[in-house]
Amino acid sequence: MNQKNDVCRHRLMIARDTLEVIQGKWRLPIIISLNHGNKRFGEIQRDITDISPKMLSQELKALETNKIITRTLYDSMPVTVEYSLTPLGESMRKLLDEILNWGIHFRKEILETSIDN
């Protein structure tokens, strides 16, 4: 039974790497938004309606240091900034799909089993 347990503990360690990147209220929403195309600061804000500029700015920086997204400044007037997924960010697509798939499944299950509400 010790070998089985080592496999479990190893997986728990790997999961922590992923969790450190996606943990928090806003990181996955930002990644999902950018998964639908490169976007400017204001466009992301309009997708995620209840995020404040402070949190968006802060989380974009965190995702940039984790090499998930890239910031590109365009010298237009007024200045525009475009955010896009890096290849590493794009490699999360399957993970995002599973989050969405399970979310749909979860909602269906919850609605089916609860006659109340």
Partner DNA sequence: TATACTAGTTACCTCTTAGTAAGTAGTTAC
Partner DNA sequence: GTAACTACTTACTAAGAGGTAACTAGTATA
Phi, psi of 39 (to 5 degrees): -145, 155
Q: Which stretch binds DNA (CB under 7 A): 6-14, 19-27, 90-98, 102-110?
A: 19-27
Closer residue to DNA in complex, CB, 10/25 = 25
> From its own copies, DNA, none, which one binds at residue 48 (CB under 5 to 8 Å depending on kind)?
its own copies
Residue 74: other Cβ atoms inside 10 A: 10
CB 28, CB 99: distance < 8 Å: yes
Give the C-alpha separation, 25 to 54, whole Å.
13
Q: Provide the binding-site residues for its own copies, judged by CB under 8 A.
A: 4-5, 7-9, 11-12, 14-19, 21, 23, 25, 28-29, 32-33, 36-37, 47-48, 67, 88, 91-92, 94-107, 109-110, 113
